[in-house]
Chain A
């Protein structure tokens, strides 16, 4: 037997430990599952943490209504395969209730997920949401706790976070308050891909290179879809692309790529000079502090 764990084994062991702390300390947790690669890693971690038992929490997707159908199909297939329970709450329902008001019809809905999420937390009285956020994603995330405290308005107060020492996680809350738990905080994009490869995790097809109609707008590649039509004068091209993240269609851009399997993606990830969010999340570029702002408002 070896004396040292590989970095992936170490990260996996830490993530399992965190998930079991949630199960041990919280009375009504939920795991946020979008069909994206990070949340798929979370599901594998949950299997390793709790099988042969059932997960001690249901899964929940906060649906913006702007999805790639293959991701939704994949999500539903995965839930059946795992024989777990999925709750879907949708931004469009919040719009119908009048709690989400768009500024314009095709406005990106990512930031409104916070409202729908907080409504779902109230509805089910969840005391903890497990999410797949990573500290390497963004500057505001680098200082995020593994168990991150949110007050009864869902607000993240960066100046008032609980110190986190050793592997002792304080997930205690009063009624109405909430913990966001991030088991893969210490993973990088590369770790995620290496884990996907090692565990042979299946992913939605849009993560792999495929031909797609796109337009080039302000330096980004924008996929042509019903909710992101070309503007007058823009030229539609059909090129090989893949998505590095999946989210609301209106703010998730693909990258040019020929990587059609996990191994090729790992090589591309190692060679890339642009960060995951920088390349693909149109909503984070708007202001230097936009992620921090959204987190303060209840975003996961």
Chain B
């Protein structure tokens, strides 16, 4: 496949101690994304704080509130480009108490870079980062064994970490149907070795550099191979227009969350189950014959059927479940614990429905990955629950489709987003 000019989103997992900021700084610097005034500002700040060297981590902690506390409290998004690709890095802090940030960052990522300090080997956080990345449906892993310069570029150290990580990875039984790729790279982010360029220190390593792996990773649009899912966001009826031709015009606007569609294809509208065929596809005023995920388009049908926001167009046979009752793994994001007696709202594709948590099965200890009994759910908890809805949603399992298997829970008194969920069993 032609890889020129695409877009890849990835996360970096690790703490500042693992050299994560240095790695990101390196990627941005070597791709000329850090500009000199930004660098000057970081130099000034480093001096002001009495640091002898330029602290590249200052690049990735943005807020005054964070600088005052010397920690990163939120996901930051960074950008760089090569001639082949644009990259979006979601950078989330590595601490255990920030499980929710890691989950947020991983939700939109196609690949995860797991950083391991060569001196320390595999830590509890390595397990946690791998588990959460797998849970959120990431299937491309890049394990960067960093600080190789501090272990004399020793191949044996690297090999034993690789072996140990492989065992760890396969012991985490989440989303097992996924086709995973794992790449291991020995690296010194500080010296820029194996990030973008290959120096002479590790000639025993024949694999790709980090950037080469990123350039060849599967990008955003792999969803185009899945079944057609088109949640309707907005219905366009320009009736009041002076243009008479538009009097009967009615198009259904949305984003192809998965699959592809072309003019003439048979479709079904859910939940009404009415069928029709595609009459035309537009992007703005441009007519196209065919469209793929994740394009945002406008669809005209050959039959007049009643469709509104929250409905979904799908293909005829491979359809999602129409459900009001399912199991899900959730991550609780709010400072306020779950109140099982309350009615919440969920947002799923373009649909909003009232929801109750009907059962709590268990919680997962993100460090040991063991199941623990739970009757309450608090910030940063990962829990398995059952949800009952007042209105049906059109859903797939998250393993099969990240877009139609995901939802958020909203507290309707504050309107805050209190949890993120992944559907894994539909009744």
Residues in A neighbouring B333, C-beta threshold 8 A: 163
Tell yes or no: A168 within 8 A of B by CB. yes
A51 is an interface residue with CB less than 8 A from chain B? yes
CA distance A164 to B6 in the complex (A): 23
Report if A286 contacts B (CB, 8 A). no
Q: A20 on the interface (CB 8 Å rule)?
A: yes
Please judge, given known A-B contacts A165-B408, A190-B81, whether A17 and B37 are in contact too, CB under 8 Å.
Answer: no
Q: Are B35 and A23 in contact (CB under 8 A)?
A: no
Bound-complex Cα distance A2 to B3 (A): 11
Q: Which of B6, B78, B403 contacts A166 (CB 8 A)?
A: B403
User: Which residues of chain A are within 8 angstroms of B5 by Cβ–Cβ distance?
Assistant: 6-7
Q: Is B376 an interface residue (CB 8 A)?
A: no
Q: A83 vs B251: C-alpha distance in the bound complex, in angstroms?
A: 21
Closest A residue to B410 by beta carbon equals A170
- Flag if A5 contacts B285 (CB, 8 Å): no
Closest to A169 in B: B347
**B134 on the A face (CB < 8 A):** no
Specify which chain B residues have a CB less than 8 angstroms from the CB of A136 in the assembled complex: 79
Whether A188 sits at the interface, judged by CB under 8 Å, is yes
List residues of chain B with CB within 8 A of the CB of A53.
Answer: 236-238, 241
Q: A24-B234, A52-B243, A272-B35 are in contact. Are A4 and B63 (CB under 8 A)?
A: no
> Which of A9, A49, A166 has the most chain B CB within a 10 Å cutoff?
A166
A272-300 CB contacts (< 8 Å) to partner B: 272-275, 278-279, 288-289, 292-293
Which residues on B sit within 8 Å (CB–CB) of A139? 62-63
- The verdict on A52 contacting B62 (CB below 8 Å), with A142-B78, A273-B36, A274-B35 known, is no
Answer whether A4 and B221 are a contact pair too, CB < 8 Å, given A53-B237, A158-B65. Answer: yes
Does B1 have its Cβ within 8 Å of any Cβ on chain A?
yes
Query: B62, A142: Cβ atoms under 8 Å?
Result: yes
Instruction: List chain B residues, Cβ under 8 A from A24.
Output: 233-234, 309, 350
Let me know if A143 is at the binding interface, CB within 8 A: yes
Give Cα A5 to B408, complex, Å: 27
- A97: B residues at CB distance < 8 A: none
Q: Is A224 an interface residue (CB 8 A)?
A: no
**B249 A173 Cβ-Cβ under 8 A:** no
Closest residue of A by beta carbon distance from B61: A139
- A278 and B236 contact, CB distance less than 8 A: no
A-chain residues with CB within 8 Å of residue B65 when the two chains form the complex: 158-159
Residue on A nearest B6 in the bound complex, by CB: A4
Note all chain A residues with C-beta closer than 8 A to B412.
Answer: 172
B85 and A13 contacting across the interface, CB-CB below 8 Å:
no
Chain A 251-291, CB within 8 Å of chain B: the 1/0 string? 00000000000000000000011110011000000001100
Interface size on B, residues (CB 8 A): 78
| B274 CB-CB contact with A under 8 Å | no
On whether the beta carbons of B420 and A7 are closer than 8 Å, the reply is no
| Contact flag A288-B41 (CB < 8 Å), given A5-B7, A13-B255, A52-B246 | yes
Q: How far is the CA of A140 from the CA of B61 in the complex (A)?
A: 9
Expressed in whole angstroms, the minimum distance between the Cβ of B82 and any Cβ of chain A is: 11
B133 at the interface (CB under 8 A from A): no
Residues of A near B3 (CB, < 8 A) are: 4
Q: In the assembled complex, which residues on chain A have CB atoms less than 8 Å from the CB atom of B78?
A: 142
**CB-CB nearest in chain B for A275:** B35
A105 at the interface (CB under 8 A from B): no
Any A CB within 8 A of the CB of B111: no
* Inter-chain contacts of B296 with A (CB < 8 A): 12-14, 16-17, 20, 48-49
| B287 CB, min distance to chain A CBs, angstroms | 12
A202 nearest CB across to chain B (Å): 16
Assess the A186–B77 pair: CB atoms within 8 A: yes
Residues of B within 8 A of A164 (CB): 104, 417
24 A-B pairs whose Cβ atoms sit less than 8 Å apart in the complex: A1-B262, A2-B292, A4-B6, A5-B295, A6-B5, A13-B296, A14-B296, A16-B283, A20-B234, A23-B233, A47-B285, A54-B238, A54-B241, A142-B78, A163-B104, A165-B406, A165-B408, A170-B347, A170-B417, A173-B415, A174-B415, A186-B88, A274-B36, A275-B37
Binding site for A on B (CB under 8 A): 1-3, 5-7, 35-38, 41, 45, 62-65, 67, 73-79, 81, 85-86, 88, 100-101, 103-104, 107-108, 219-221, 224-225, 233-234, 236-238, 240-241, 243, 246, 249, 253-255, 260, 262, 283-285, 290, 292, 294-296, 309, 333, 347-348, 350, 402-403, 406-408, 410, 412, 415-417, 420
Extra pairs beyond A14-B296, A143-B63, A288-B45 (8, CB < 8 Å): A3-B224, A17-B233, A49-B296, A52-B241, A158-B63, A170-B417, A173-B415, A191-B86
